[in-house]
Amino acid sequence: MSKRETLLEINNLRAFAEKTGEPRSQLVNSVNFRIDKGEIVALVGESGCGKSVTALSILGLNAASIEYESESEIRFHDENLLQLSDRKLRKLRGNDISMIFQDPMFSLNPLKKIGKQMTEALLQHKAADVRTARQDAEKMIERVGITDPKRQLDNYPYQLSGGMRQRVMIAMALLCKPELLIADEPTTALDVTIQAQILEIMKDLQQELDVSILLITHDLGVVAEMADRVVVMYSGQVVEEADVYALFEQPLHPYTNGLLTSVPTLEGESDERISAIRGTVPSPQELPKGCNFYDRCTRRTDRCKKEEPLLTNHGGRNVACWHPVVEGVKDDERTAIRN
Amino acid sequence: MRAAHQMLFGTVILSALSLAGCSNDERVGATSEVKEHEKVIVAYSTDLNTFDPVFGSAGSDHSLLYPLYDTLVSFDEDLLPQPGLAEEWEYLNDTTLELRLRDGVTFHDGSVMDGEAVAFNLERATSEESYISDLNAVESVEVVNDLTVRLHLQYPDSSIVLALADRAGMMVSQEAIEQNPDQIQRAGVGAGPYELVAWETGEKLTYRKFDDYWNEGEPKAEILEIQVMPNQMTRMNALQTGEIDFATSLPAGEITSLSDEEKFTIVEGSAVPVNMLYLNIASAPLDQKAVRLALQHGIDRAALNEAIHYGQGEGAYQPFPSSYWVYNDELNNLYDPDYARAVLEEADLVGTVVTIAHYPEAYDERVIDILRHQLAEIGIVVNGQAMEIQAGISAYFDEKSVPSFMSRWTGRPDPQMTMTMLYHSTSYYNTGSYSTEEIESLLAEAAGTIDNPERRAEIYDEINRIGLTEEAIFIPLTFQPDIVAMSTDVKGYEPNMLGKPKFQMLYKEP
Amino acid sequence: MFLRFLTKRLLYVIPMLFITTFIVFSFILLIPGDPALAILGENASDENLAQLRAQLGLDQSLLVQYWNWLTSALVGDLGESFFTGESVQEAVFSRMGITFQLVTTAIVIAFVFGTTLAIVSMMKPGSWIDEFARLVSTMGTAIPNFLLAMLLLAVFSLSLGWLPATGFISLFDDPIGFVRSVLLPSIALGAVGMAQITRHMRSALIEVFETDYIRTAFSKGLSVRQTIFHHGIRNAILPVVTTVGILYGNLMGATVVVETIFSIPGIGQLAVDSIMQRDFAMLQGVVLVMVVIIIVINFATDIIYSLLDPRIKYE
Ligand SMILES: Nc1ncnc2c1ncn2[C@@H]1O[C@H](COP(=O)(O)OP(=O)(O)OP(=O)(O)O)[C@@H](O)[C@H]1O
Ligand SMILES: [Mg+2]
């Protein structure tokens, strides 16, 4: 399917929280997926499943409190970001890979003018002078649909609405023309009409700048609207990964299936949350030996309890399940896709 | 724009305040041209309130007044009268004292210090508004001629001569007073060796040598600067770092840091101020003579002195130190705990609680502690009550709400003054107004004994014997050592028994 | 807008001044001990006392006395000292000027060193400087200022002889002399403040570093140092401004010990002397000026706060 060049590849990401005096708890376990150039990949999963940990790991923004397993790997242009020195990582941040966050209320420094905050990355990475940086910033916020950019750059964040601020965040993130934009729930805090506008802008810019996007969201409506490919996470693991059409057409993992059946329509701007499935997620300190979804699964067997299913190729898509929703695929046809 | 306004406003107010801290006297600047050795800097414990001698009451003022005001009579280190502005004096009869004045003395403002000026000053000192009571005996002042003045007394008073060495004898320029009587309070004009240049209240006083001073060659220093430093450690520190040349009233236990003889000279003197317990005999339980006698005989002054003055200073069983001319050899030890206990037991007063008001200072607390211990032995319970100075004075002398007060008698130039003020029933210091006929008639006799010091001393012996051992009208405790220190290049210091040093005699060798 | 704010503030200040001065006035008169007695000492005959009391106006009722004081104060006359006869406003202003310079220096030292320590310790957590900052913030509050004053004196003045042990020189007379004379006392005075500021700044920085906008700053590729300087300090300093404002008031009232040890003729000494001597006229002047200073400081704090934080508007 994708003949495109791979931009980012996450292999066997396993991360633990290290706190002195506490048992180390597993935050993510066997996360594997890739992002191709110019592609929008959606990362979905219910709250606490490790989406943000994964995203922050790419930029090393949570490195202080987190330990990675030695074979974990985040490949970006032939470099393992997890092994990169702090200096090299800083050169990447905001330049090749940038990120926007969920809550635009708090993502901007309240005491600094918008203009100052926007040009910071430009001045840091491109040998730009303050004037041209400012001009670039003006153009960019005009591009995200803010009128009167000159004046807005002299405003403080408190003078802007939430939607405006998220536009500013997007403009700021794209100012250095990065190859990858990580958007961690960029619209969750906004109301519905604004959400749609923001997504529209992101999609437009993505095409215009040919930037890849890792879009983290709860909202399957958003996924359907935006994504080329979908990665589904459950309890620190990637459980399914597929082309967006294939996934919505026929989910393979019982968990994905559960998610989709709780969403009425594909295009509907549903606010429905993924937690519609009964039962609770196991705590990261006491993960079961077998499948993490065992407790909540409708298709479980004894095997699921004893053996952990790995992410395996299943007709061009990947799924981690002993009993995928589509019958007739025999166990022995599966090949593990580890590494 | 808006921000600029706000900043401006804040800064204006703040800097107005800081500017107010600038030195306020231009003339002070002029003194800094004087060579280092022509200027003597003294650290003294207190400032004064007024430069008008008739409107002050603190014993600590004198040392700040002396450089400015010469007195009619002076005194030597043993507190015996010496010629001052009056070269000599003579009793024409019991109630007429003639003063013969020094010729050619002028005040700082150029006016002449003559008989008129003396009469003016003495009349002022005895006027209604004056705070001075030392001249109560004076009925009138007669100017015989320019250099002769006669004091006519209502009754004989042997203390008059030395009273003229105190505030009453400080001569102020009549012209200056008549021009502006209030001005004198802030900037006195006298006939002393120094003129006042500046008085920065609570900070320092600057004096400059008076060029027309009658005593040729005096004073030797061009500038005398007296800095007010209430804290004794601060005075010592300042001396140690060379910021001052001379420090007064240093703590007995801690002068070791100045022990470098190359750099500092330490002089220990003895003086008349005496620490004592004032007793209000009109108030319980001190109306019981047994309790007073137990206090008098139950306190071991030598031990007390050892403990608080490290053996310097002197225990006191009478209001005079042993080197003073009226000291009574027989009253050198009244400590007799057996007798004290016996007296109490006989009166069935063992366990009596005596409340003593005292200052909230470490020194006073220590004294009270020692008294508590010593008196517990003989059956008196001491209840110390710390009171800040004015509250204590008010409570004891005015409201009479505490029966006893531990404070200091600051001493007077003439023993007659001390005796009268401590023993006479009409004295302010005798809070219970208690005395005996015998004591009062002896006091009157001493007042009349104007030309026979030996006889006077005998009378005082008798008064002290009765007043202290039989009546216990007050309880003397200790004489504090009078310790001063100076850098070795400072010369001319002579301690005096009044405990009020005359700083005008200090100078430095070039 | 600013003018309206100012008028509004003044409207609060005026009744506050009336109330505080009246309360203080009443309290002063309740202090045991009679100024007339204090002045007259042994010469306190009943007639003398009565005469002096009348002269000082102490024979009138509290309200009349307050009214008399107030009406002169309103036209800028705080009266004369009961004791020395010097003008109260002159004495108070000259003393306050000294204390103000002392306290301001103490605050500047506390602020500069406190914030610097906090910042450096934030940049290098666990380093010796971080440990040092922690030490300072505990020691500063643990050591009483008189002890610190004596320690500093013993070392820098008595042993090394680098700095004078006593006295004060105004900044406006001799800037170098000022620095030399004010250094030890202001360190002794400001140590508590430095400890407080270090602690507050440190925790404020830690708090700021947990915010989303700091994460945003890192995501732009800024280094820790850049993030602290461009995003951390200004935000963390906001609560510290309030600390400084409060500190100013505290130190103003706490100078007397340091003033005594270093023989600095400041307002603290004047206040204590006036209380000791029952110099009510002087004391009233001291209190009035103190209250005004505190009000001005609060006001200045508000203004600085609003300059640092664009979200705050005068209302
Ligand atoms: N630095 C950390 N130290 C310890 N635990 C952490 C750390 N970061 C995240 N966690 C924990 O890891 C788990 C996964 O968190 P994460 O933020 O990745 O979830 P998420 O999928 O982004 O959820 P949400 O949809 O609510 O944002 C959570 O239980 C969280 O508490
Ligand atoms: Mg998240």
Closest CA to A116 of A149, A166, A154, A162: A154
* Residue A277: per-residue pLDDT: 66
Domain end call among A155, A177, A199: A177
Mean residue pLDDT of chain C comes to 85
* Mean pLDDT, residues A17-35 taken together: 80
- What residue spans define the domains of chain C? 2-88, 92-280+288-308
**Contact partners, residue B465, CB within 8 Å, separation at least 6:** B328, B330, B331
Whether A161 maps to a domain, the answer reads yes
* Residue A263: per-residue pLDDT: 52
Secondary structure class of A116 (helix, strand, coil)? helix
Distance A55 CA to ligand 2 centre (A): 9
* Mean pLDDT, residues A35-58 taken together: 90
**Residue B422 — very low, low, confident or very high, per pLDDT cuts 50/70/90?**
very high
The CATH fold of domain C92-280+288-308: MetI-like fold (1.10.3720)
pLDDT tens digits along C158-191: 888 899 888 888 888 899 999 999 999 999 999 9
Whether A301 maps to a domain, the answer reads yes
Q: What backbone phi and psi angles, to 5 degrees, belong to A134?
A: -70, -40
Domain end call among A177, A211, A236: A177
Point out the least confidently predicted range of A106-120, A280-294, A299-313, B290-304. A280-294
With 60 as the cut, is the pLDDT of residue A274 above it? Answer: no
**Contacts A–C by Cβ distance under 8 A:** 67
Provide the H-helix boundaries in B356-410: 362-378, 389-393
In chain A, the number of structural domains is: 2
Ligand 1, atom 18, residue with closest C-alpha: A50
Domains assigned to chain B = 1-66+184-270+481-510 (3.40.190.10), 70-171 (3.90.76.10), 274-479 (3.10.105.10)
Residues of chain C contacting A108 with CB distance shorter than 8 Å: 213, 216
Domain that holds residue A112: 103-177
Mean residue pLDDT of chain B comes to 88
* Residue B15: per-residue pLDDT: 42
Report helix, strand and coil shares of chain A as percent, to nearest 5: 35, 20, 40
* Residue A329: per-residue pLDDT: 45
Q: Do C170 and B428 touch (CB under 8 A)?
A: no
Point out the least confidently predicted range of A57-71, B65-79, C212-226. A57-71
**Residue B212 — very low, low, confident or very high, per pLDDT cuts 50/70/90?**
very high
Q: Say if C313 is an interface residue toward chain A (CB within 8 Å).
A: no
- The ligand with the least distance to the CA atom of A62 is 1
pLDDT tens digits along A145-158: 888 888 988 988 88
Residues of chain C contacting A59 with CB distance shorter than 8 Å: 219
* Residue A63: per-residue pLDDT: 67
Measured over the CA atoms of residue B129, residue B130, residue B132 and residue B133, the dihedral's sign is negative
Count of beta carbons in the 10 Å neighbourhood of residue A222 = 22
With 90 as the cut, is the pLDDT of residue C61 above it? Answer: no
**Residue A337 — very low, low, confident or very high, per pLDDT cuts 50/70/90?**
very low
Whether A271 maps to a domain, the answer reads yes
Tokens of B112: 């002449």
- Report which of residues C32 and C109 the model is more confident about: C109
**Residue A331 — very low, low, confident or very high, per pLDDT cuts 50/70/90?**
very low
Whether A156 maps to a domain, the answer reads yes
Count of beta carbons in the 10 Å neighbourhood of residue B110 = 10
Residue recorded with tokens 């008169």: C29
Measured over the CA atoms of residue C179, residue C181, residue C185 and residue C187, the dihedral's sign is positive
The pTM of the full predicted model, rounded to 2 decimals, is 0.80
Whether A48 maps to a domain, the answer reads no
Closest CA to C286 of C68, C75, C24, C11: C24
Secondary structure class of A48 (helix, strand, coil)? coil
pLDDT tens digits along B221-241: 999 999 999 888 899 999 988
Q: Do B393 and C37 touch (CB under 8 A)?
A: yes
pLDDT tens digits along C239-294: 899 889 989 888 988 898 899 889 898 999 888 888 888 888 888 888 888 888 88
* Mean pLDDT, residues B308-326 taken together: 91
* Residue B12: per-residue pLDDT: 40
What is the C-alpha to C-alpha distance for residues C264 and C260, in angstroms, rounded to an integer? 6
Mean residue pLDDT of chain A comes to 82
Burial of B141 (0-12, 13-18, 19+ CB in 10 A): buried
With 80 as the cut, is the pLDDT of residue C46 above it? Answer: no
**Which residues, listed in sequence order, are joined to residue B485 by a DSSP beta bridge?**
B247, B266
* Mean pLDDT, residues C71-76 taken together: 84
Which A residues 175-194 touch C at CB under 8 Å? none
Residue recorded with tokens 């209000």: B280
Asked if A173 and A250 sit in the same domain, the reply is no
Residue type for B278, please? Answer: Y
Domain end call among A145, A161, A177: A177
Residues of chain B contacting C42 with CB distance shorter than 8 Å: 57, 133, 421, 428-429
> CB-CB: which of B9, B391, B397 is closest to C32?
B391
Tokens of B501: 């040093």
Closest CA to B479 of B310, B305, B255, B278: B305
Asked if A249 and A332 sit in the same domain, the reply is yes
What is the C-alpha to C-alpha distance for residues A301 and B248, in angstroms, rounded to an integer? 100
Whether A150 maps to a domain, the answer reads yes
With 70 as the cut, is the pLDDT of residue A253 above it? Answer: yes
With 80 as the cut, is the pLDDT of residue C208 above it? Answer: yes
